[in-house]
Amino acid sequence: MMWEMAVFIGFSLALVAGCLVPNQWLPSRLPNDKLMHFGAYAGLALLAMRIAPAASAALWLAGLLLAGWLIECLQQLVPGRGFSWRDMAANAAGVAAGALCAAALASI
């Protein structure tokens, strides 16, 4: 379980860094923004479900949604970035998909 926590923390830090840099610092040819949000939050949710005890799994998922909202709010302070409800929807869909994948994998 230690490696999952290390990957979760590293992935989280990379996500925050990528979301809070000015647009001009990002490569010009990135994949679809909403797919990146979906994939990042699905991956974090999958890792969170592997780390979290069953009793606190819902709190971990809620924490991911709260972190996504906070990042979106902070983006308003970054040049060329702003809050996006569509990004929040992609984040929430990713969290749900990651949690469902984790449940499916746990039953195998």
Specify the pLDDT at position 72.
Answer: 96
Examine the pLDDT at 59 and tell me if it is beyond 90: yes
The gap from C-alpha 75 to its chain's centroid, in whole angstroms, comes to 15
User: What DSSP assignment string belongs to 58-92?
Assistant: HHHHHHHHHHHHHHHHHGGGSTT----HHHHHHHH
User: What DSSP assignment string belongs to 12-25?
Assistant: HHHHHHHHSS-GGG
pLDDT, greater one: 53 or 37? 37
| Mean pLDDT value of segment 75-89 | 94
pTM for the whole thing? 0.92
